[in-house]
Chains A and B, each alone.
Chain A
Amino acid sequence: MKKLLNAAQDFMDRNKEIPESILQKMDDDDTASLQKMITFKENLKDAFDREISTAPIYFNPASVREKKTASAGPAHFSRFYFLLSTAAVLSIAVGLPLSHSLKSRKLIREETRSFVTTITDSTSWMENTLDDTTISPNWFSTEPLGISSN
């Protein structure tokens, strides 16, 4: 039955009278709804007219401009500086630890590099090691340990 209500409203939208054929097909509930809709529409303008002032508007741009700058100025100013200070605090909070960590990384890298260079450049440690390693001829002997062939 909503189809009939919609069809009736189509006529309302076009400011035309709703045809009898549609009204006759409607049940009591739809007729009551349509009646309320029409009453609502008819009275709405009057209801507004009772509420709305018809007094003319006098708009003075100069006065509004003054009011605007006086009231909105400081708010914009403080908002801008609030954002600026937040950005500064954030960049310090993130930047300081980051730079420290970068510096220490660089230091560690340099230290490691110099350490590695000292080790690899010098061959003395190898020589020393070789000097200390004296190979005993007994190591290759097939005879049991502690038994002299002589």
Chain B
Amino acid sequence: MFDNLSDEACIKRFQETKEEAVFNCLLNRHRIAMRRMIYSILKGSREDMEDVEQEVSLALYKNLASFSFRSSYSTYLYRLCRNKAIDFIRRKEKQRKIFHKTILFNDGKQQETPDEIAEKKTIHDGIMETLFQLPEGERTLIVLKDIEQQSLSDIGEIVHMPLGTVKSRLHRARLHASEILKKKEII
């Protein structure tokens, strides 16, 4: 319905009319990128991803009314996804400390059988496992650059880092990933 409108035009229209349809169009346009970002930070938890997705959608709905176009919508969205996912992990960590025993019990239930583990040993799983072994900062940089194809300066804006730091950390992150892959001997 609003596919021919740019992100900026959609936002302006939403600011004027508060139409749900415009908002949903804007939200769905970037949903895959949004999910990839959240998924990489949450290390592959689908249930948690849905919760964070809801939080991002709600925050977006509230904040878009006052969006001032100082950065591009995609930069803003990546930053929002990252912040919400990190907040979610912190909250969960806090709950884990409080309900330590319950969490341990639940984790025990989710353990996979040897067959399931063997089945998962494909290249893609190895890639995802490698990605999840990297620290959050490195994961985010790799996802933003190698999947989302963001420019280094935009990444700097998203993660609040100078350009040089983004570049050196990205290179280090790739090197780190390659070292993990060497040890895994999957590829």
Partner of A64, one of B32, B54, B178: B54
Which residues of chain B come closer than 8 Å to A64, judged between CB atoms? Answer: 54, 57-58, 61
B31 at the interface (CB under 8 A from A): yes
Q: Per DSSP, are chain B's interface residues mostly helix, strand or loop, or mixed? A: helix
Partner of B31, one of A13, A40, A45, A56: A56
User: Are the CB atoms of A56 and B174 closer together than 8 Å?
Assistant: no
Contacts across chains A and B counted by CB atoms under 8 Å: 102
Which residues of chain B come closer than 8 Å to A57, judged between CB atoms? Answer: 24, 27-28, 31, 53, 57
Q: How far is the CB of B182 from chain A (nearest CB, A)?
A: 6
CA distance A21 to B143 in the complex (A): 29
Among A30-38, A94-102, A113-121, A125-133, the one that faces the other chain is A30-38
Q: How far is the CB of B175 from chain A (nearest CB, A)?
A: 6
B35 at the interface (CB under 8 A from A): yes
Report the interface size class on chain B. 35 or more
User: Are the CB atoms of B24 and A45 closer together than 8 Å?
Assistant: no
CA distance A43 to B32 in the complex (A): 17
A71 at the interface (CB under 8 A from B): no
User: Are the CB atoms of A9 and B61 closer together than 8 Å?
Assistant: no
Which residues of chain A come closer than 8 Å to B54, judged between CB atoms? Answer: 64
Given A36-B187, A57-B24, A59-B57, the answer on whether A44 and B146 have CB atoms closer than 8 Å is: yes
CA distance A46 to B131 in the complex (A): 13
CA distance A115 to B121 in the complex (A): 95
Which residues of chain A come closer than 8 Å to B179, judged between CB atoms? Answer: 33
B9 at the interface (CB under 8 A from A): no
Which residues of chain B come closer than 8 Å to A45, judged between CB atoms? Answer: 146-147
Q: How far is the CB of B115 from chain A (nearest CB, A)?
A: 19
Contacts from A to B (Cβ < 8 Å): 5-6, 9, 12-13, 15, 32-34, 36-37, 39-41, 43-48, 50-54, 56-61, 64, 68
